[in-house]
Amino acid sequence: MELVEDRIDPRPEMNLRRHQFNDAEAAFDAGDYASAYQMDGGTNSEIEALAAIMCGQVAGGLAMLGAPESDRAFLVAAYGHWCLGETDQALRNLSEIGNGEYSSPARALENHVAAEMIAVAVITQPGSDKAAGFAAAAGFSVAHISLEPDNFGRTWEDILAASGGEGGPDLIICLDAFGPYRPQGLEVAPAPVVIWSSDHDFFLSTRSYDHAAADIIIANSADECAELSAHYPGRVASFLGHDNYAQYVTVPKPGTNRDLDILFTGRAFASYMRDKAQFLFRLAALDSEDARIEMLEGYLADGDYNHRLGRARYVPTFCRYWDGFQTRSVDAVRAGARVLTNDAGGLDGLLGGGWFAPAGEGWDLDAGGLKIEAPAEPVDSLFWRSPAREERFLKFSLFQSLFTKKRAKPLTRTYIPAEFRGYPPGRAAAIYARIVKMNTAGAQSPVHSNYAGLAAYYGLVSAPELTSFGEASKEIFRAAIGAYPNSLMIRFNAACVLWSFGHKNEASAHFMTVVDQGAAMAFDPKADAIISHRIRAFSELFPYGDFYSAAVGREVGGEIQNPINIMRCGAMTFLAHDAISEGRIDEAIQLLEAGGTLFDSASACWRLLALARAADEKVPADVRQAAYRAINLYPGELPQLLAIVMEAELADVRDGAAAEILKKWTLLAARVKSVDGRRFGVTPENVECAKTYSHLLEDWTLALLTPILDGA
């Protein structure tokens, strides 16, 4: 508790880059093409050209390569020509490869290139539009498979038998088809199974089996490659050019007025992505009267999104994983805006250079020039449009299959993971009821019980009128505690569920068990799923983003945190929340100070500590210390702490510091709004506070505050 913070200055603590390889050739051969390009970019080497092809810049990479001089180059050039539809040239390249290291892959690729039709199965969730582009891929016969709730648990063998196909497909692609949407027994299919992986850290426990059973995992970035390779034995490849969806985005007409310096749309302030919030807060609070900044919390309709992008000079994107291209970055470049990012690395060359600006210290709006009327060709040559995009993905997947090795696969799982998603109520009820039923029948374990209890609870949250889900969740978790008293995750999730129903004494007992005995309890981060971060009542009190980082072993701020300690800190925070609400302030302060010592990066813990210290009339310095710590960890805490931190500063006659706080709140309220126009952090209490202390502001920030106070 020796931390000293005396101003609002949030700074993201980025995870360290994980260097898997000593050189670009090793990275390339392993399938990490983003790392290979990053390491050799700008050298005009053979590896740079080959990496560009595999990243998706096919024509540009082939032009850079020229005449191949090695078997590796002939093989990759053949893949590139195949992607471009130049099969004769692809086969000529392959014919140049004789006996040697690349002989077997060359012969296999020849078979694919020469085939009249390649059979593929694409597995998605029902109703997904992700399979549409694959159905139109030239040279592929695509069977689209989606499992409805009644068919959860259906075997791959049964699906094949029902289709009447002989021998099955040559390739199986899983797109967001995890958990119950993945056919049982798929791990023994003779064809290579490929999954597109994203947000691996957030879904480690619910999707770890699917990743472990896959032959090939394809991800966007080099950093994801490193993380996935550390956890799973299959081949992991990075494919930068695939992940783009808003293909309707266009460059605005010449002469269009770029009247927004910075435009952000999406989720700016979510407690489970506090690093992103820290990054965006620094831009939203930019101390510049002339800066035209608009941050919209939420998602726009296609036409409005395209229009606003066309007005923007810079679009900020925060990268949780290094060395990749985010979809919002692709959208920005398509619209001719520059990308303002924490990860402006050497991949910019794939787009011709000049698109990415680092948002670091000393950055200003006028630095580095601006592309306003950018041609679409550099973007489209990397980020292909559908259905060519999907056809290239299938060929990329087949190319990766040339380098997979036979290995033992995990045994067929008997539990069915549950994830909380935004399903319509009726559909959610069918999905979660089926998952509950499957996890409570047959084999039993802590994992089965945990997923059954979570599925029932998610059913209630999705369809509150179906109260039987809530009763089932409580019953399942209570029974699970009796059957598996040493399971840390069952104990924690049960406490959260019971707490949400108002069973505070029962929940408190379980939270105290987590605090006192958690270090010695059973916990497997790859199997034990924590209750969803998407449920706001829990995300307001628990540091999900930090927990996920710790669970995957990510090094942040120079160290890897202990996920169990984060859960113990979280349990203390829940207990302290109840203690504050019941007037037990001294007890709350003791719990929160202990929690902050156990894990010092939980913003909710520090927020509650600031509120408790203020309620206990502690010295102002102690109040503002906790408040600043909370806000700097997650700037979304500022609206809840505005009044007490202002009063703490003024109590010590620190008028300048109080003015700076009010200024930052004003900048946020002026520049960050929901898509329907609601200002961020504006509550009646905060408006009253701002009115009381508005005399502290001067000049242009006071002019910004006036319409906020007037309700405009």
pLDDT at 367: 47
Three-state secondary structure string covering 163-216? HCCCCCCCEEEEECCCHHHCCECHHHCCCCEEEECCCCCCCHHHHHHHHHHCCE
H or E stretch covering 219: strand 216-219
- On whether the CB atoms of residues 432 and 455 are closer than 8 A, the answer is yes
Residue with tokens 């126009």: 677
Tokens of 73: 């180059």
Q: Taking the model in full, what pTM does it have?
A: 0.94
Q: What 8-state DSSP symbol labels residue 412?
A: P
- On whether the CB atoms of residues 215 and 21 are closer than 8 A, the answer is no
pLDDT at 453: 98
**pLDDT exceeds cutoff 50 at 66:** yes
Q: What 8-state DSSP symbol labels residue 678?
A: P
pLDDT at 42: 74
- On whether the CB atoms of residues 400 and 235 are closer than 8 A, the answer is yes
The answer to whether the Cα torsion of 310, 313, 319, 322 is positive or negative is positive
Tokens of 483: 């059957």
Residue with tokens 């990329």: 396
pLDDT at 627: 97
The count of other CB atoms within 10 Å of the CB of residue 326 is 20
**pLDDT exceeds cutoff 80 at 164:** no
CA distances for 161 relative to 128, 244, 684, angstroms: 24, 35, 63
pLDDT at 461: 98
Residue type, 598: L
- On whether the CB atoms of residues 71 and 55 are closer than 8 A, the answer is no
Separation between Cα atoms, residue 330 and residue 323, nearest integer Å:
14
Tell me the pLDDT band of 345, cut-offs 50, 70 and 90: low
pLDDT at 297: 94
pLDDT at 353: 82
**pLDDT exceeds cutoff 60 at 368:** no
Tell me the pLDDT band of 188, cut-offs 50, 70 and 90: confident
**pLDDT exceeds cutoff 50 at 371:** no
pLDDT at 557: 64
Q: What 8-state DSSP symbol labels residue 348?
A: G
The count of other CB atoms within 10 Å of the CB of residue 439 is 27
**pLDDT exceeds cutoff 60 at 369:** no
Tell me the pLDDT band of 363, cut-offs 50, 70 and 90: low
Spacing of C-alpha 89 from chain mean position: 40
pLDDT tens digits, one per residue of 584-629: 999 999 999 999 999 999 999 999 999 999 999 989 999 999 999 9
CA distances for 472 relative to 466, 486, 541, angstroms: 11, 22, 24
pLDDT at 3: 55
Q: How much of the chain exceeds pLDDT 90, in percent?
A: 78
pLDDT tens digits, one per residue of 372-384: 444 456 788 999 9
Collapsing DSSP to helix, strand or coil, 503 comes out as: coil
pLDDT tens digits, one per residue of 409-467: 888 899 999 999 999 999 999 999 999 999 999 779 999 999 999 999 999 999 999 99
- Nearest Cα residue to 460 out of 423, 410, 515: 423
- Nearest Cα residue to 414 out of 152, 235, 78, 99: 152
pLDDT tens digits, one per residue of 464-522: 999 999 999 999 999 999 999 999 999 999 999 999 999 999 999 999 999 999 999 99
Section 140-169 average pLDDT: 90
Tell me the pLDDT band of 554, cut-offs 50, 70 and 90: confident
